[in-house]
Chains A and B, each alone.
Chain A
Amino acid sequence: MSLQRKDVLGLEDMSAEEILLVLDIASRFRAVFDRPVRSVPIMRGRTVVNFFHEPSTRTRISFELAEKRLSADIVNFSVATSSFSKGETLRDTAENLAAMKIDMLVVRHGSSGAAQYLSRVLACPVINAGDGCHEHPTQGLLDIMTMHQRLGDMRGKKVTIIGDIAHSRVARSNIWGLNKLGAEVTVCGPPTMVPGNIARMGVTVEYDLKKAVAQADVLNVLRIQLERGAGGDFPSNREYHRMYGITEDVVRGLKPEAFVMHPGPMNRNVEISSEVADGPRQVILDQVANGVAVRMALIYLLSGGDPGALASGEAA
């Protein structure tokens, strides 16, 4: 089986089989990270454009690393350093990119739906690196990969996502992907940040943190945008921490094997206490490594890479 699609815009429209294929390929890439020869030349002579219309360091570096390891030629556009200014319409941007005859586009944009729009206009594969509050599929895949490595078959596993669900593309991609794999997802946070109607996406809404985490196999703790406090979504960082922060106290109430994830960068002592962030239950650096592997897998598969060839040792 290979990935029969042009783009990866979200996990909403990916099947369980596709997700498992990506995780499988990603784990093979992950396995060769520690060996001396790290590059797979599938993208040699092909150009990937990383178009970041919104500041991002982690995701951009992770994509670049993935692209380098596949020998791609890389062009970076970001808002700060290019003529792709805020005044330019997405359509203008798309026409420019189309004229450049690029082989793949990785796009991060502040508007929900922007990646979908570009994918319709461009003939090349488009990977969504985060669109507004909509989806962040590579983050979703790396999160699910990190869970899958520890928990195996995700069917019936209990995942609790905590934080600003309303404004989180990470939450949406996790929800779609985990539901496809049969996990049971609970979302938790203050009611100003967790709309009740999200239950229709197939999750349990629980505003009481203690109840939300009691049965969980894994906690996925989202980064809080601190400026939302000023907008009235929560009274203060201290109050957020008191009610929804993941502290030693919360962790003590977890099942013994349960672990804690965070997409980074962390606000220490807001959504997660320093003790937990540095403690034995967190798997954050593993998430980072899986992020590169998942992005390699997607680029590999979208460029027509053969999963079978990889299995027979090409990657080594």
Chain B
Amino acid sequence: MSLRYLKGVATLKLDAARCTGCGMCVNVCPHAVFRLENRKAIITDADLCMECGACALNCPVQAITVKKGTGCATAVRNGFLHGTEPDCGCGEDSGC
């Protein structure tokens, strides 16, 4: 995919020592961030990560950490105004 967001900001981390190579992260990632190599997952390009959290949640051995969130300016502003975590009032008239 030609569209890439800001460089070097994603909070994605993989602990290779824990990884059992089950491939779940490869299955769930919508941006092909992971690949299996020698029965271990590797991160191909962390800049493609949108921090959706699917990989970390579905890794059965908690080898992945990522600060999950929606990359949505409205959400960040709402969170800032209300002093809470980012929250986009999704479902009403927001586009997401």
Whether chains A and B associate is no
Residue numbers of A with Cβ under 8 A of B are none
User: B interface vs A, CB < 8 Å?
Assistant: none
